[in-house]
Amino acid sequence: MLLLVPALIQFFPILYMVSLSFKQGVEVFAFPPTVFPKSLKLNNYDAALKAAPVGRFLVNSLIQATSITLLQVFTAILAAYALARTEFPGKKFFLVIILATMMVPGEVIIIPNYLTLAKLGWLDTYAGLVVPFGASGFGVFLLYQFFKSIPKELEEAARVDGASRLRFLFQIMVPLSMPAVVAFAVYAFVSAWNQYLWPLVVTQSTEMQTAQIGIGMFRAENEANSWGMIMAATTLLIAPSIALFLATQKQFVQGITMSGLKG
């Protein structure tokens, strides 16, 4: 019961956003503010969709976040397996280097990344949005911890049964590590979806811009007078990441807590 209080506090901004997105004209500025709108008219959503290519932003964000997620999950699975289950010279060194990437603030690498992509001609492309985030030190570490807890005999049994390393990895290790993999995928998706600075730097045309930049555009263009419409656009743009979390929250929580216990 006590946990409801912080939960409500956490939830309030989202609730208020949705509420504002339905409010008409001066209702937005009514004092004292009301939590629930008087009506549920969708005209703010109409206006938002007309004012900017919200659909395009959403598609861009979906492509960007989904690609980053798939790439990060794939590279993390391979790297974590190599670190957890194979012996090779310099293994500890590589593990430390991968962990060290978690300590580097993202802002630091923006300029070198930008220069590299400019040379490659990848500015204002999906590749420019996605490839720099193709691997995640956090993901490698999370899955590494989880993979280490899977009994070695399972791999030996699979080898005697005739499974190759890759087949064992994708048919046995990954299915058994689903909570961790899903937790990491959700985390990767939401972080990618919420990226602002990098997409702002690397995209120039409206066709390539993502949802977060779109929200920024609304604010800049509409000054202070159409909060209803801004909130309608914002609601549309953050809905996918909330929906994803709601859909996978069970695995997400399981993955985080299990990997924590076994770390």
Partner 1 sequence: MAGIELQNVRKDFGTLSVIKGVDLEIHPGEFVVFVGPSGCGKSTLLRMVAGLETVTSGTIRIGDRIVNDVSPKERGVAMVFQNYALYPHMTVADNIGFSLKLSRVPKAEIKKRVEETARVLRIVELLPKKPGQLSGGQKQRVAMGRAMIRNPKVFLFDEPLSNLDAQLRIQMRSEIALLHRRVGATVIYVTHDQVEAMTLADRIVVLHAGHIEQVGAPLDVYRNPQTQFVASFIGTPPMNFVPAQRFPAASLPTKWNGSLKTVGFRAEKTAIGKSDGLVPIGNGRVRLVEPLGLRALVHVELGDQELVTEIDTLDAPSPDSEVPLGVAPADLFYFDQSGRSLGAPL
Residues 115-174 that bind partner 1 (CB under 8 A): 151, 153-154, 156-163, 167, 172
Which of residues 176, 201, 217, 256 is near partner 1 by CB under 8 A? 176
Cα separation of 219 and 234, whole Å? 10
CB of 163 to partner 1, least distance (A): 6
Does residue 76 belong to the site contacting partner 1 (CB under 8 A)? no
Cα separation of 72 and 62, whole Å? 15
Q: Is residue 20 a contact partner of residue 231, using CB atoms and an 8 Å limit?
A: yes
- Number of C-alpha atoms within 13 angstroms, CB side, residue 103? 5
> Looking up tokens 């009301």, which residue turns up?
34
Helix axes 43-51, 54-85, angle to 10 degrees: 80
Q: Pick the closer one to partner 1 by CB: 161 or 207.
A: 161
Does residue 1 belong to the site contacting partner 1 (CB under 8 A)? no
Q: Pick the closer one to partner 1 by CB: 119 or 152.
A: 152
Which of residues 6, 25, 89, 175 is near partner 1 by CB under 8 A? 175
Q: In 133-226, where does DSSP find H-type helix?
A: 137-148, 152-161, 165-168, 174-176, 178-193, 197-202, 211-222
Does residue 258 belong to the site contacting partner 1 (CB under 8 A)? no
Token digits of residue 160: 């005697």
Q: Pick the closer one to partner 1 by CB: 56 or 165.
A: 165
CB of 114 to partner 1, least distance (A): 44
CB of 155 to partner 1, least distance (A): 9
Residues forming contacts to partner 1 in the complex (CB under 8 A) are 151, 153-154, 156-163, 167, 172, 175-176
